[in-house]
Amino acid sequence: MRICLDPNMYRFLPIPKMVDKVAELGYEYIELSPRDDFLPFYKYPRVDKARIREFRKALSDTGVKLSSLLPVYHWAAPDEELRKAAVRNWKRAIEISVEMDCDLMNTEFSGQSDQPLVCENQFMKSMEELLPIFEREGIKLDIQAHPYDFSERNNESVDLIRGLDKDFVNYLYAAPHTFFYDDGKGDIASMLHYAGDKLTHVIIADTWNHRASSGLRYIVNPPGVNATVHQHLDIGQGEVDWEAFFSTLREMKFDGIATVAVFGFEDRADESSRFMLERVKRELG
């Protein structure tokens, strides 16, 4: 199993310094989420051959490995021009993954929760164009449901991925999205078992239950606004059932990718990252 760090809290460091920091913290693998100087959110990649050489050298010098690239694009957007641009961005991102000798990419369904059918149709249109490229280049793809995506629920998201019927496309369970996955129940064991053999990747961070306390665990104004709020906290700072999470993964003999993805504490990023690595190693290592 690979235990990775999503270095989002270090995205302000130049790439070589970011890699040095990951090594210093004791991680062997990086899951590179969007950053403005590499694969920015929703925009065309900002990467040339020199930047790839720089990144590869930093990895070689430290012994850290690139586990996956995580681009996020509007590939399920209701707007067709946005969708086409996202496909163009994806094609370049896949090229970069190949140039980095990285055989895995992970991402989100994207789209909008208030237009689920339109967005699903757009997603499938993008898949028709992109899946042959992933397959040709030997790149695996793990997809997560993210709050506000056109698919937010665990089971329907797993079914969507099964419907693609590609061995190289699998499901990513993000623990900080747990309470969106089953509308506040938090029945992690059931959801992980439902994913079954399609579960190849988990993201680890804590969150509060937005449905708890009559929906008033945290308050968003104006009342009724169409917004989704969650956190990426250290284990134990939220309400995820970690005993169920880790024990179910052990029961399933999970041997995929476990990514630490705490975003909420840039002021204590080193402490958080070390704490999370120790806990994940203790539970799954």
The residue assigned the tokens 């310094």 is 17
Query: Under DSSP, is residue 31 helix (H, G, I), strand (E, B) or coil?
Result: strand
For 110: left if phi > 0, alpha if psi spans -120 to 50, otherwise beta; the answer is: left
Residue 275: its pLDDT value, please? 99
Residue 223: its pLDDT value, please? 75
Query: Under DSSP, is residue 100 helix (H, G, I), strand (E, B) or coil?
Result: coil
Would you say 195 and 214 are in contact if contact means Cβ atoms under 8 Å apart?
A: no
pLDDT digits (tens, 9 = 90+) for 120-130: 999 999 999 99
For 135: left if phi > 0, alpha if psi spans -120 to 50, otherwise beta; the answer is: alpha
Q: What is the mean pLDDT of residues 79-102?
A: 99
Task: Give which of 261, 266, 210 is closest to 238, Cα–Cα.
Answer: 210
User: Within 10 Å of residue 233's Cβ, how many Cβ atoms?
Assistant: 20
Residue 285: its pLDDT value, please? 80
Domain extent, residue 164, equals: 2-284
Query: Does residue 227 carry a pLDDT above 90?
Result: no
Residue 84: its pLDDT value, please? 99
Burial class (CB in 10 A: 0-12, 13-18, 19+), 275: middle
pLDDT digits (tens, 9 = 90+) for 164-222: 999 999 999 999 999 999 999 999 999 999 999 999 999 999 999 877 787 777 878 88
For 151: left if phi > 0, alpha if psi spans -120 to 50, otherwise beta; the answer is: beta
Mean pLDDT of all residues in the chain?
97
Q: What is the mean pLDDT of residues 56-85?
A: 99
Query: Does residue 279 carry a pLDDT above 90?
Result: yes
pLDDT digits (tens, 9 = 90+) for 141-171: 999 999 999 999 999 999 999 999 999 999 9
**266: pLDDT confidence band, cut at 50, 70 and 90?**
very high
pTM for the whole structure: 0.96
Would you say 109 and 146 are in contact if contact means Cβ atoms under 8 Å apart?
A: yes
| Count of structural domains, the chain | 1
**What CATH number corresponds to the domain at position 153?**
3.20.20.150
Residue 48: its pLDDT value, please? 98
